[in-house]
């Protein structure tokens, strides 16, 4: 972790319970200080080994990226990969997504990427799904008006659940595909580690974009 600490923007689980921390603790990131510029900011939640965010950052040097991952050994691999590739526009947060509002300023993010979040089909674990009613208000608060959530998953059940949740929380759902790799979006697609495994097994990949309405532009 030591060699990568310049890439680490936040770390740790608060002593407070997650809800209390999200509401009361603030250590908001100063983007110009963190990245050395004022470029737009995008966020990936559950970045895993970081293959997706590194490639996205390489393709878009004028955008800044924040990558969130709760698991310390996993984020370490992601940071090492990023460092080795010489990518300078990604910073990492080793925190649970539940406490994103402690670090990310409100209305400061253009896009939230949710790639192959664990579907957690058990009803008892619904709250932990990253598209549940517990998380969507968090992303909503962090996103700018007109900002978007881009979701990819291998689980049709989780996909349908997520589409319903996006709509329930006022997002406008579009660019829906139930077979991403055979769709018009395939050309630009960056294949993640999990996506590679699933598609090699012949499984279709589901993708949708949920847009936060820009009420200011409405009549």
55 contributes a contact to ligand SAM by CB under 6 A: no
- The total of other beta-carbon atoms located within 10 Å of residue 77's CB is 16
70 contributes a contact to ligand SAM by CB under 6 A: yes
Paired strand residues for 113: 44, 150
Residue 115 vs 215, nearer CB to ligand SAM: 115
- The total of other beta-carbon atoms located within 10 Å of residue 191's CB is 19
Strand pairing report for 8-11 and 90-94: parallel
- Rounded to whole angstroms, the Cα distance separating 134 from 215 reads 23
Residue 13 vs 182, nearer CB to ligand SAM: 13
Distances (CA, A) of 61 to 40, 64, 82, 110, 172: 11, 8, 13, 15, 28
101 contributes a contact to ligand SAM by CB under 6 A: no
Contact pattern from residue 178 through residue 217 relative to ligand SAM, giving x for each residue in contact according to CB under 6 A and a dash for the rest: --------------xxxx----------------------
115 contributes a contact to ligand SAM by CB under 6 A: yes
* Minimum separation from the CB atom of position 206 to ligand SAM (A): 13
69 contributes a contact to ligand SAM by CB under 6 A: yes
Phi, psi of 4 (to 5 degrees): -105, 10
Stretches 1-9, 15-23, 59-67, 91-99: which one binds ligand SAM (CB under 6 A)?
Answer: 91-99
Chain contacts with ligand SAM (rule: CB under 6 A): 45-48, 68-71, 74, 96-98, 115-118, 192-195
């Amino acid at each position: 972790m030591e060699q990568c600490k310049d890439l680490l923007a936040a770390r740790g689980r608060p002593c407070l319970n997650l809800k209390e921390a999200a509401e009361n603790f603030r250590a908001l990131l100063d983007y110009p200080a963190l990245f050395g510029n004022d470029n737009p900011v995008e966020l990936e939640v559950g970045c895993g080994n970081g293959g997706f965010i590194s490639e996205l950052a390489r393709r878009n040097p004028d955008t800044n990226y924040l990558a969130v991952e709760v698991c310390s050994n996993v984020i370490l691999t992601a940071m090492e990969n990023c460092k080795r590739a010489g990518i300078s526009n990604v910073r990492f947060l080793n925190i649970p997504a539940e406490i994103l509002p402690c670090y990310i300023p409100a209305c400061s993010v253009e896009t939230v990427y949710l790639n192959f979040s664990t579907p957690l089909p058990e009803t008892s674990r619904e709250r932990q799904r990253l598209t549940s009613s517990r998380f969507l208000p968090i992303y909503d608060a962090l996103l700018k008006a007109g900002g978007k959530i881009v979701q990819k998953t291998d689980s049709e059940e989780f996909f349908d659940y997520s589409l319903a949740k996006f709509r329930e929380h006022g997002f406008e759902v579009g660019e829906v595909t139930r077979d991403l790799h055979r769709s018009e979006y395939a050309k630009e697609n960056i294949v993640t580690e999990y996506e590679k495994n699933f598609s090699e097994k012949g499984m279709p990949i589901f993708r949708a974009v949920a847009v936060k309405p820009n009420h200011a532009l409405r009549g």
